[in-house]
Structure 1
Amino acid sequence: MMNFVLLSSLAISLVAGAIVRSPNAEPYDGYQVLRVKTGHHLKAVKEKLSTLSFEKWNHDIDRYIDICLPPDQVGAFEALGLDYHTMHENLGQSIDSESRKDCFSKRQNGDNSWYDSYHDYNDHIKLFEGFQKGFSNQSEIISSGTSYEGRDIYGLHLWGAGGKGKPAVIYHGTVHAREWITTPVVEYITEQLITGYTGGDALVTSLLDSYDFYIIPIVNPDGFVYTQTNERLWRKNRQPGPGNSTCFGRDINRNWEFGWNSNPRGASNDPCSETYQGEAASDTPENKGLDTLVRKLRDTVGIKLYIDWHSYGQYILSPYGYNETLYAPELGKWTKAASMLSQTIRDSSDAKTTFTFGPSGATLYTTTGAAPDHVYSIGGADFSYTIELRDTGNFGFILPPDQILGAAKEQWEGQKVLLSLLEEKFFDGQGPAM
């Protein structure tokens, strides 16, 4: 119990620390975010939209296109007569609201006030340091290297009875910088593992005694900091483009070795594109460090589960992403586990949050050089998923702070079930060990 009290008391000072005050809401004043229905009229919709200047948010264009429209384009858009609904009437106001929810009350044991707000990058580091100090005999701060701008890609390694060396569970958060919700969700799961173990929870004890957890909450620290200081909707890392290009950033989740550059629909070779894959596989320092850790765990303890946390859309996606018609031999068990995970999330959520599941390329869209494909095919993971968090399009990347805790709680309930399903006996019909 002493560790639990220490963990909570260390977090008190963080709650009273810096809350993100976005310096970049004003540039988006008057911008609208709109969901445009495509369906069977995709070609016609794209032709009409080609007359406008806007930023495209999503890639699931077979059903709809989410666009960020500047004020001077709104009238021209309305004249197109398209079928749409408004996600953000004024994106600048939404960004400002996202960043201004105060949370200064002292945090007590079991208090979730950290999850009432989005936080400054440095406070995220302090939170993980507090977690480690509160679980010091069974955890260690780890690093998967440094970012392009020299920031440490920090994480936490947790283990249970018997010491280190069990099969690995790996969580990656904030791969895409603007997907802020992924960071607190991964932090909440980390906290529940620690407090559950120190508090004697039987299921959590069993999980930590069976697996070592390697949790990296912010894979893309440079991009994340940039979203807090310069451009809220930045996606990539902050690596300069090649040659004379004036564009910055590579998409870390199109930069993994397996499947890289294997399908022209899966990424872009344009340095200005949001899905720019880089000049070569793993040519981002972030990816090199992450891949080194993956291969090390593969060769030492093996990887049981990998999850790449993203937003938005509410999907649970398994390999393959690089080929929409190629299915892995493990797809049956992955789909069965994803179905249970989806059902648990829905049943545990007051909002009855529904997650769609299936192989990535066939269920959502083609992605080459993506982490789950690589960690399965190269890293040998038994289970490998992308989880796209809330929501399905009311708010998109600018998810209000009052949804953070709900999003985190439903994922923790889902992880408890998913982690209990990892043993092969469940897929032999004997049921999960609950």
Structure 2
Amino acid sequence: MLVPLILVAAALASAHHSGEDFEGSKVFRVSVDNENHVNLMHELASARQIDFWKPDSAAQIKPHSTVDFHVKAEDVVTVEDFLEQNELHYEVMISNLRSAMEAQFDSHSRATGHSYTKYNNWETIEAWTKQIAAENPDLVSRSSIGTTFEGRSMYLLKVGKAKSNKPAVFIDCGFHAREWISPAFCQWFVKEAVRTYGQETQMTELLDKLDFYILPVFNIDGYIYTWTSSRMWRKTRSTQTGVSCRGVDPNRNFNAGWCENGASKQPCSDTYCGPTAESEKETKALTDFIRKNLSSIKAYLTIHSYSQMLLYPYSYSYKLPKNNAELNALAKAAVNELASLHGTKYTYGPGATTIYLAAGGSDDWAYDQGIKYSFTFELRDTGRYGFLLPESQIRATCEETLLAVKHIASYVVQHLY
């Protein structure tokens, strides 16, 4: 069955849900050269509701950087005036957010059913997890590690040749609801594992020697919300008594420098750390699973977007991990491997200095549990499309990322601990 694109667009932007259909909304990039510019951006953020894309919040803006943010149509003129009056250099990255949302979908009719080169909704991904396990019983098994706030099963795929006591690599996607390219990668990884096992030597060796735990969508409730109500939603969908705003930033909800730098105590903020560490059912499901399997999990990879970076601990402070030199060399090699296919350039390094301070992240938490190889990928792009990467880029993005992930996994096999 083919669904006309106009229906998809209508569903995505359904204004009556989100109060915004994104028509005429813009995404700006502002050059922040000094402390004065930082203060001006804070002033702007407190006067207007601004949706920060990069960094995640006004608190993380630092001198000698650029800031990407989305502004509602009715605020565009005010914001442009403010930037011009204060002589802040800016460019418009996306001139009409609604058009960019529609342009994400590369064909004007949508076949229902799963596709590795299209963005799939949760219902489609859930059915796919069941099917891929059923069709490949010797390589893939499916289990649930818990339920979301809204009661959905969090499906985990275990990919590898069955053998007892194998070391494992844990990969999760879809932490932040609007980062659609992330779940696309987890699906791609499983497809390639199954397709190339027994054909390609590196993948065959990896699946013989390692198990991969793949969590295709961590923040399922939020992901569904981006399809049905508001495309730019980021957080979970949990509620608290007496609090009007919903949701917690799951990547500020882990017990690693929890709610210190780069996280907010305000429930309405996009970087809200939650009432307590591990307050979110999703966070708890993940931490319980990893703690239970800590003796076997040797690497933790979490997939986000955007900015083309490969980050390792720490993000919650400027301290460096014990094996900093090793992680740096491994990140450099993985990034070179990634660039070898399409020439995509990534930067790499410890989270705090490479991007910004951010407390309560899953990668820092995993590292502090004793998982020596802990990385965050920030996939394409660097801001031309931001969170609205077109489907036409899914294949290339996933292919190149797979090279980096395989490189890290191969390294782990050779450096078991």
TM-score, normalised with respect to structure 1: 0.86
Structure 1 window deviating more from structure 2 (136-145 vs 15-24): it is 15-24
Q: Within the alignment, does 1:140 sit opposite 2:169 as a pair?
A: no
2-structure distance, mates of 1:71, 1:106: 32
Aligned to 2:254: 256
Q: Quote the Cα distance in structure 2 between the aligned partners of 1:101 and 1:170.
A: 33
The structure-2 alpha-carbon separation of the partners of 1:415 and 1:277, relative to structure 1 and needing over 3 Å to count, comes to same
Deviation of 1:17 after TM superposition, in Å, equals: 9.0
Match in the other structure for 1:95:
101
Counterpart CA distance in 2 for 1:105 and 1:175 is 26
Q: CA RMSD in A?
A: 2.4
Q: Could you tell me which runs of 5 or more consecutive residues in structure 2 were left unpaired when the two chains were aligned.
A: 16-20
What is the distance in 2 between the residues matched to 1:47 and 1:128?
Answer: 43
Q: How does 1:239-278 map to 2 (within 5 A)?
A: 239-241=238-240, 243-261=241-259, 263=260, 265-278=261-274
Report the equivalent of 2:186: 186
Question: Match of 2:131?
Answer: 130
Deviations 1:306-364 (A, max 9, x none): 1110011111110111102x011111111111001111111111xx2111111111211
Moved over 6 A (4+): 15-20, 103-107
Counterpart contact for 2:142–2:156, Cα < 8 Å: yes
The one-letter code sitting in structure 2 at the alignment partner of 1:46 is M
Output aligned runs, 1:310-325, within 5 Å: 310-324=304-318
Kindly provide the CA deviation profile for residues 390-417 of structure 1, in whole angstroms up to 9, marking residues without a partner as x. Answer: 1111111111111111110111122222
Task: Please tell me whether the aligned partners of residues 142 and 156 of structure 1 are also in contact (alpha carbons under 8 angstroms).
Answer: yes
**Map of 1:396 onto structure 2:** 386
One-letter amino acid of the counterpart of residue 119, structure 2? Y
129-138 vs 403-412, greater mean Cα deviation: 129-138
Superposition map of 1:144-159 within 5 A: 144-159=145-160
Provide the TM-score with structure 2 as the length reference: 0.89
The letter for the 2-side match of 1:42 is H
Assess if the C-alpha contact under 8 Å between 2:315 and 2:350 holds in 1. Answer: yes
Kept after mapping to 1: 8 A contact 2:210/2:413: no
Question: Aligned residue for 1:110?
Answer: none
Which residue identity does 2:91 align to in structure 1? H
Counterpart of 1:239, as a letter, is: S
Alignment of 1:207-222 (within 5 A): 207-222=206-221
- What displacement does 1:42 show? 2.8
Relative distance call for 1:425 and 1:311 in structure 2 (3 A) is: closer
1:9 equivalent in structure 2: none
Deviations 1:12-57 (A, max 9, x none): xxx9799991423361000011111112253354256345443222
Work out the CA distance in 2 between the residues paired with 1:155 and 1:45.
44
Choose from 73, 91, 110 the match for 1:71: 73
For residues 4 and 321 of structure 2, the distance between their equivalents in structure 1, rounded to whole angstroms, comes to 45
How many residues end up aligned between the 2 structures?
397
Label 1:415 to 1:122 Cα distance change in 2 as closer, same or farther (>3 A).
Answer: same
Question: Which shows bigger deviation, 139-148 or 73-82?
Answer: 73-82
CA deviations 1:75-129 (Å, max 9, x no partner) are 223323221122211001111222463576899xxxxx92332122111112222
Which residue does the alignment assign to 1:46? 41
Contact 2:313/2:320, CA 8 A, preserved across alignment: yes
Name the residue aligned to 2:18. none
Q: Offset of 1:73 from its aligned partner?
A: 2.3
Q: Is 2:195 the partner of 1:195?
A: yes
Q: Distance in 2 between matches of 1:277 and 1:105?
A: 38
C-alpha separation in 2, matches of 1:207 and 1:103: 38
Contact 2:106–2:390 under 8 Å retained in 1: no
Where does residue 375 of structure 1 map in the other structure? 366
- For 2:333, the equivalent position in structure 1 comes to 340
Q: Which residue of the partner structure matches residue 12 of structure 1? A: none
Do residues 410 (structure 1) and 416 (structure 2) align?
no
Contact 1:196 1:204 in 2 (8 A): yes
- Counterpart Cα distance in 2 of 1:105 and 1:266: 41
Deviations 1:150-205 (A, max 9, x none): 01111210122x524311100110000000000111111111111111x4322111
SS of 2:217 mapped into structure 1: coil
